[in-house]
Structure 1
């Protein structure tokens, strides 16, 4: 198989691309400087004033909470979602954003529409002449026994949960390379990418999240080094939440009686998470506070996967 692939590459007259060597392209210049008097400004490493971010799946739930974390520290945040208009909570978040020095904007954009997604992200970057980071939080779930999944079911879930993340990251990276922005990306994976969910049959969702974790590692390898022309320097990490009280999970509880109690008993804290409990992690990963972190998966699950 390897020799055939090599022959095909040669026949097209192309040289196979290779990732940049980190030791030849070190990611320097993004760590906080010793000359910066951090003590004069509280939590300066987390300051996002003047930076521009995109959050997919930002109309409600976890995506909206993570967007708020960036806004509250001065970021200009664009929430992308397929809904015609965002949840009522989004309007309140936008009002609070004005008091925090940041700004919150909404764009109707389905991550499955890759051409439209690319144009939307390009327009945002061109407007500000920069793009500093992305949180890819758009995702769907389907409870279904493995033998009853159709090809269409699988394609739809993977198209949103995996391909949507890949296309969001690629579109954003093109703009970050264009404007030579050394920023950060955070993919919302799940502890379900590492373990099966007790009491819930969702093999395709779980598989898609495992794929997202692996995708982050590979994009981190490719984009973290800074090239000679100043491009690159994009850190890529994941957050893998445990069970959260989101609209999607509340729907699961309606479909599977007793599931909430089962999940609450499955972690070390005896409860499920609120969306607000992931804001600090998102801020950490999108700010200078995590300047030496890339290709990692931050598990926040109340101890679920620790026993």
Structure 2
């Protein structure tokens, strides 16, 4: 049986996230903090994960003040998303601390590295894929398990990039581009698995990942929607080096709006994908790039 459409949700509530906890990996970064604050303002509680031991003090104070004003809650945990063995016990802690089940994920954790392909350090290449792809999968997997455990619907947003659609003109970032293209495919694959039990044939062929496959029908769970969001170039504190090289001005000339985006411009797209306003959207990529890829 399919999950019913939320046709009775008032229009004013299509972007609301009341009674939900949303997890953000890379939560101490510019996008994570900005989107996290927007979630608090929309009625949701947030869990921020980041490799940093603690968030910036002034920014965290702003987050806590926002939570207080909106009667919401914010939690922060230090975590390396690539350390698979630490993820389950971390989620056990989170489950004990939060007041509402996890109903959403915004996977922001990611790194890049410029370098010519013929000289690219293979260890750096592997690290970028490990953080951007494997780390994203591990967090999405843990969130999916938690949603199944709580028997709730949910929405997962993987922060990809327009660089998963096109190569970055004038800057050599083959590992980053490959990783973001992989997130587009990971989005489609998870959306297919978690949208409806009939999306997967019964049983499976024996393999290293599934040595003793069952032929029983898979257990039915409420649907988890999975979409990706592909930003264009974003003005953030870490783009200072790009500004000094004149790259920011060049990037602005490469899109239809003639400017680089601001982190605040990704609040509404994330809220849309997390909330009931996008209830019939899954397996899709929402490209917010100022028309960069359409030119």
The bucket for the TM-score relative to the shorter chain is: 0.7 to 0.9
Q: 2:62 aligns with which of 77, 89, 92?
A: 92
> What does 1:138-287 align with in structure 2 at a 5 Å threshold?
138-225=109-196, 230-254=220-244, 257-287=245-275
Q: Which residue of the partner structure matches residue 304 of structure 1?
A: 292
1:117-150 deviations in Å (ceiling 9; x for gaps): 2322233234446211111000001011111112
1:65-96 deviations in Å (ceiling 9; x for gaps): 11112111111100000001112323212212
**Structure 1 residue 46 corresponds to structure 2 residue 15:** yes
Q: Indicate if the aligned counterparts of 2:20 and 2:100 stay in contact, CA closer than 8 A.
A: no
Q: Which residue of the partner structure matches residue 105 of structure 1?
A: 75
Q: Indicate if the aligned counterparts of 1:59 and 1:86 stay in contact, CA closer than 8 A.
A: yes
Question: What 5-or-longer segments of structure 2 have no aligned partner?
Answer: 199-217
Shift of 1:230: 4.8
Q: Indicate if the aligned counterparts of 1:122 and 1:171 stay in contact, CA closer than 8 A.
A: no
1:197-253 deviations in Å (ceiling 9; x for gaps): 122111100110000011000000000116885514000000000000123333333
Question: What 5-or-longer segments of structure 1 have no aligned partner?
Answer: 1-24
Structure 1 ranges of 4+ moved more than 3 A: 126-129, 226-230, 251-254
> What does 1:51-66 align with in structure 2 at a 5 Å threshold?
51-66=20-35
Q: Which residue of the partner structure matches residue 13 of structure 1?
A: none
TM-score (norm 1): 0.85
CA RMSD after TM alignment: 1.7
**Structure 1 residue 71 corresponds to structure 2 residue 45:** no
Determine helix, strand or coil for the equivalent of 1:196: coil
Q: Indicate if the aligned counterparts of 1:69 and 1:282 stay in contact, CA closer than 8 A.
A: no
Q: Indicate if the aligned counterparts of 2:23 and 2:105 stay in contact, CA closer than 8 A.
A: yes
Q: Indicate if the aligned counterparts of 1:72 and 1:101 stay in contact, CA closer than 8 A.
A: no
Q: Distance in 2 between matches of 1:143 and 1:134?
A: 28
Q: 1:81 to 1:230 in 2, by over 3 A?
A: same
Q: Distance in 2 between matches of 1:123 and 1:251?
A: 38
Determine helix, strand or coil for the equivalent of 1:132: strand
Q: Which residue of the partner structure matches residue 280 of structure 2?
A: 292
Shift of 1:63: 1.3
Q: Indicate if the aligned counterparts of 1:60 and 1:89 stay in contact, CA closer than 8 A.
A: no
Q: Which residue of the partner structure matches residue 93 of structure 2?
A: 123
Q: Which residue of the partner structure matches residue 52 of structure 2?
A: 83
Q: Distance in 2 between matches of 1:72 and 1:191?
A: 28
Q: 1:66 to 1:129 in 2, by over 3 A?
A: closer
Q: Distance in 1 between matches of 2:62 and 2:44?
A: 17
